[in-house]
Amino acid sequence: MNAAPDPDAAPMARALELAARGLWTTDPNPRVGCVIVRDGRIVGEGWHEVCGGPHAEVMALAAAGAAARGATACVTLEPCSHHGRTPPCADALIAAGIGRVCVAARDPNPRVAGSGLARLAAAGIEVRTGPGARAARRLNPGFFSRHERGRPWLRLKLATSLDGRTALADGRSRWITGAAARADNQRLRARAGAILTGVATVLADDPRLDVRVPGAARQPLRVVLDSSLRLSPVSRIVAPPGEVLVLTSSADAGRRAALASAGVRVERLPAGHGGVDLAAALRRLAELEINELHVEAGATLSGALLAEGLVDELVLYMAPSLLGAGARPLAVLPEPATLEQRLGFTIRQTRRVGSDLRLILRPAAGRN
């Protein structure tokens, strides 16, 4: 006998579609959608559009009006129970007379972490959790990472030739991949809370590392790891739009003052192997409410992040060309003693982007 269809499946799928509309705008808040259903019909829907604005539940309740009383609310993340930038959504659902709430995923924020669901249940509202949980987490990898692991979700972007080379021997790399791949990477930048690079890349390429997507609502924080404060105050990365943070292990007050006069924020962190302690840098960015960290760096920093197991997702744009053995490598990594010790990845997605191939990879099980 076939099981009866889940009445929450379709409205939760719609709520997840709505949540994805906030991909570029809600940071550091999560992307959340809400659908209100009465007698099998959607009577209100909404999503969290921008940080500081109304949450998804409030938007959906406003759209539903009086029809919300006794209805079911399908929400992609547990309704908040605390006063933050906006009042608690759990209270709004209770006040509207919602009869039932279906939640995809529990909120990992310690200020919520089940208290929103408890408040709803205490008010006599039937609560269900679970449908769409994996999709809700996929939509907010950085929000869950920041609260559960104390560091952002780190996405490392690399562009390579077929033979794993990123630049000619003299450093020239514009452009290995085509315009479509570069535009695709702009969209990845736009969803991040911060873009990180190393000072060697800034000195070599003088990049802007800003977002140039039409309609982009904000500029991610640009972060430079610079252990000895070599960054020039006139570098293009320092220029508007957006803010720049330099993380250093140097105590040089003069260089720090020169950067500060150009509007650069400088913070000192412990030194690690060969530069700033990478784990400490990620912890600090989590404290600054960075959910997703997009990294565009050279072979040395990319290799260090990979070797320390700090990369959660590798986005690899591969151009159909060969640069030869003398060209610069993808990442500087120690050679494994055996094949069993090599860094392994699982391919999560392959896609043609213009004339190039985009691979999305995750570390093999047990790496992170």
Q: How confident is the model at residue 52 (pLDDT cuts 50, 70, 90)?
A: confident
Determine the Cα–Cα distance for residues 262 and 244; give it in Å rounded to an integer.
Answer: 10
- Residue 4 has a pLDDT of 74
**Poorest-confidence range of 4-8, 47-51, 131-135, 258-262?**
4-8
- Residue 113 has a pLDDT of 83
pLDDT mean over 76-103: 88
Contact present, 78 and 105 (Cβ < 8 Å): yes
pLDDT mean over 17-45: 95
To the nearest whole number, what is the mean pLDDT of the chain?
93
- Residue 174 has a pLDDT of 79
pLDDT mean over 69-88: 86
- Residue 175 has a pLDDT of 85
pLDDT mean over 309-315: 97
* No. of helices (H) and no. of strands (E), the chain: 11, 18
Element (H, E) at 347: strand 345-353
* Per-residue pLDDT tens digits for 220-237: 999 999 999 999 999 999
Residue 340 reports pLDDT greater than 90: no
- Residue 84 has a pLDDT of 65
* Per-residue pLDDT tens digits for 167-178: 888 877 778 899
Residue closest to 167 by CA, chosen among 274, 297, 295, 358: 297
Phi and psi for 183 in degrees, rounded to 5?
-65, -40
CATH of the structural domain 9-139, one choice from 3.30.450.20, 3.90.1150.10, 2.115.10.20, 3.40.140.10: 3.40.140.10
H runs (alpha helix) in the chain: 9-19, 56-64, 89-95, 115-122, 133-139, 141-149, 179-191, 199-205, 253-261, 278-287, 299-307
Residue 334 reports pLDDT greater than 90: no
- Residue 207 has a pLDDT of 94
Residue 274 reports pLDDT greater than 70: yes
Residue 31 reports pLDDT greater than 70: yes
pLDDT mean over 264-279: 94
Tell me the CATH class for 143-363: alpha beta
Residues for the chain: how many in total?
368
Contact present, 237 and 215 (Cβ < 8 Å): no
Domains of the chain, by residue range, sit at: 9-139, 143-363
Same fold, 9-139 and 143-363: no
Residue 85 reports pLDDT greater than 70: no
Residue with the bigger pLDDT between 241 and 211: it is: 211
Q: How confident is the model at residue 139 (pLDDT cuts 50, 70, 90)?
A: very high
Residue 284 reports pLDDT greater than 70: yes
Give percent of the chain with pLDDT exceeding 90: 80
* Per-residue pLDDT tens digits for 184-224: 999 999 999 999 999 999 999 999 999 998 877 789 999 99
* Tokens, residue 11: 């409205």
- Residue 5 has a pLDDT of 83
* Tokens, residue 109: 């924020």
- Residue 83 has a pLDDT of 63
- Residue 349 has a pLDDT of 96
- Residue 26 has a pLDDT of 93
Residue 1 reports pLDDT greater than 70: no
Q: Which residues are catalytic?
A: 57
